[in-house]
Structure 1
Amino acid sequence: MPSSDDNSDPPAAAQLTLAGMRLGLRRVSVLMPGVIVFAVAFGAAASAKGLTLFEAVLMSALVYAGVSQLVAMELWRPEWTWGAIVALAFVTATVNARTILQAASLQPWFSRYPWFVTAFQLSFFTDANWLVGTRYHGEGGRDLGVVLGAGLALWVLWVAMTVPGYLLGTLVADPRRYGIDMVMPIFFAAMIVPLWRGKRAMLPWIIAGVVALVTARLVDGYAFIIVGALSGAVAGALLDDPA
């Protein structure tokens, strides 16, 4: 006797295609000018701090952490102590901790793939391809190639643009001087609008923003990023309708 569950639709097969990767590349291309500017800024900052070109490129290739690399350059020291190393590790970990929540939000999608596929694509996981993947998944798409393609494209661009940045020296070492630091926030503000799910979903956003602003006023450094993100996540979990 077949059970009532037999009438339910079978889960979609896990997909990872070249077509999906090309789609991810197209969707993330609008962010590339801003990524180029920040990669050039990192290269210039690395040059100013005395890193060799090889060291700067190696950091971009292996660390691949965007804003965290710029933060690391702000804290870079000509001579290191264990205390300075711990402080640098803590600050960069705080800045990057937001990716834990981002990846967790896509875990139901990622869990359908073998662990080594997930581990590989997470090596290229950034704010940009998280947002691209979230929108794509929300539209019903299930091809993980979209997330991987976007991440790989930005990784290649980031590593490549570190070189001219290093050679240009301090020309654009401070993006804030030209207002370039606003490129990423404006992009994400525009991209997140389609994720709007009605007035009920507005409260976690407001809570996250207010908590982040208050934390930035009261606490030096970058703790406001993870505190604001956690506040919004907790608020969203408490307010979410039970299934």
Structure 2
Amino acid sequence: MTAAKAPTTLTWSGALQGARETIPFMPGLAAFGMAFGAAAGQKGLTLAEAALSSGLVFAGLAQMVALEGWTRSWTFSSLLALGLLTFTINLRHVLMAASLRPWLGQLPAWQSYGSLLLLADNNWAAAMRYRAEGGADAGYFVGAGAITWVLWVVSTAAGHLVGGGVPDPKAIGIDLVVPAFFIAMLLPNWRGRREAVGWGTAAATSLVASYVLPGWWFIAVGAVAGALVGGFTDERN
């Protein structure tokens, strides 16, 4: 606990360390990005549009979900529904950013808020482990996020080029990349059997909801159920 109170710094050496220690996640992230690029090509997006989506939006799961509802002809109701759904999916970023405040909040505003532009699931998870182990250099978070952003954009473009000509990406298992990636993200955060309660509840609830509710609302239902159960089963010291 004492190490976690060390003054925050932001250095190039920390950024390099974060980038280097995030490399093990890169194969899964590259496959995820290529899956999005291929799916974007199937939906009719150009290479530039797909790459700009990844570069400017930088929200993998939300981008995949948005593609499911992508259409050439938009109505106000369809835009509103898609906006609400992607907003719900990305609400987790509010909690993720809040968990970083005790650390990044010690930096000047232009550094802390600028760093949050690179917030993603994998660099957040890696940075939180680093911080829990006593790390104080916020460059770690920035470096991990920067390499994630670069690879996400590059792999999206590669997936569009390579997979755009595949008649049905699901036929070769591209749709399995997304759940496999997030499972790989979850496993390093396993802290004991108590985790299984919240995770299991989220999985079971979302599975049932997928058969009952239309569209992608099962994601929100599973997330809320898992968070509530996980909060009640969290260990207290």
What range describes the TM-score normalised by the shorter chain of this pair? 0.7 to 0.9
Equivalent runs, 1:82-231 vs 2, <5 Å: 82-168=76-162, 170-171=164-165, 176-231=170-225
> What letter is aligned with 1:40?
M
Number of residues paired by the alignment?
236
Equivalent runs, 1:5-154 vs 2, <5 Å: 11-154=5-148
Q: How far apart are 1:59 and its partner, in Å?
A: 1.6
> What letter is aligned with 1:123?
L
Q: Percent identity?
A: 44
Question: Which protein shows a greater Rg?
Answer: 1
Is contact 1:110-1:118 (8 Å) kept?
Answer: yes
Flag structure 1 segments of 5+ consecutive residues without an equivalent: 1-7
Distance (Å, rounded) in 2 between the aligned partners of 1:10 and 1:66: 30
Flag structure 2 segments of 5+ consecutive residues without an equivalent: none
How large is the RMSD of aligned CA atoms in angstroms? 2.9
Q: How far apart are 1:171 and its partner, in Å?
A: 4.0
Distance (Å, rounded) in 2 between the aligned partners of 1:124 and 1:242: 32
| Alpha carbons of structure 1 residues 109 and 234: separation in structure 2 relative to 1, 3 Å | farther
More moved, 20-29 vs 8-17: 8-17
Distance (Å, rounded) in 2 between the aligned partners of 1:108 and 1:174: 46
Q: How far apart are 1:129 and its partner, in Å?
A: 1.0
Distance (Å, rounded) in 2 between the aligned partners of 1:131 and 1:232: 18
Q: Deviations over 1:146-196 (max 9, x none)?
A: 221111111111222333333335345865433344445445444544534
| Alpha carbons of structure 1 residues 19 and 37: separation in structure 2 relative to 1, 3 Å | same
Distance (Å, rounded) in 2 between the aligned partners of 1:154 and 1:172: 26
Is contact 2:30-2:155 (8 Å) kept?
Answer: yes
